[in-house]
């Protein structure tokens, strides 16, 4: 389950991806944006574009669940910061989704509901990444939170 799945279920966007270990201290802080995920109809062209814009390198891997390929983007110093894959439903637009690192996913889910947000996908454990939930703020903007493995 990831942004693609959530937005598709909302009538807007679908995937499952492997999130790499967050290796920058700032991204490990509670509330920090720690991962970007691009849904795009042309991951190869996106890799070329962002490579030229930001100097990112890219590496394509095949997802273990068989849903396709996943492209990881890394900065010049090798820090993996984002990923990309094709949408899993036809009506999906190209878009960026974000993950925020948190100390306790379940506490953030409860706080989101308390403050008028919605739970789109209940918290679940992802063996490759950590505990994840997909939420929406009171205005409907979708975001994800992750309690990383490390």
Sheet containing strand 142-148, strands side by side: 57-62, 69-74, 80-85, 33-39, 95-101, 142-148, 130-136, 118-126
pLDDT tens digits in sequence order for the chain, 150 residues long: 555 555 445 444 333 333 444 445 667 778 888 899 998 999 999 999 999 989 999 999 988 777 789 999 999 989 889 999 988 777 778 888 899 999 999 999 999 999 999 999 999 998 888 999 999 999 898 899 999 887
What pTM did the predictor assign?
Answer: 0.72
pLDDT of residue 102: 94
Q: Which domains does the chain have, with CATH numbers?
A: 3-148 (3.10.180.10)
């Amino acid at each position: 389950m990831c942004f693609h799945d959530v937005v598709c279920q909302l009538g807007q966007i679908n995937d499952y991806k492997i999130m790499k270990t967050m290796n920058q201290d700032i991204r490990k802080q509670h509330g920090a944006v720690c991962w970007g995920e691009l849904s795009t109809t042309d991951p190869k062209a996106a890799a070329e574009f962002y490579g030229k814009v930001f100097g990112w390198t890219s590496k394509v891997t095949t997802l273990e669940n068989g849903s396709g390929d996943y492209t990881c983007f890394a900065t010049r110093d090798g820090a993996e910061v984002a990923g990309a894959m094709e949408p899993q439903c036809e009506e999906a637009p190209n878009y960026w989704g974000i993950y925020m690192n948190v100390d306790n996913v379940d506490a953030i889910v409860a706080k989101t509901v308390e403050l008028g947000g919605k739970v789109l996908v209940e918290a679940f454990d992802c063996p490759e990444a950590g505990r994840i939930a997909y939420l929406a703020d009171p205005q409907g903007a979708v975001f994800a939170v992750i309690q990383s493995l490390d």
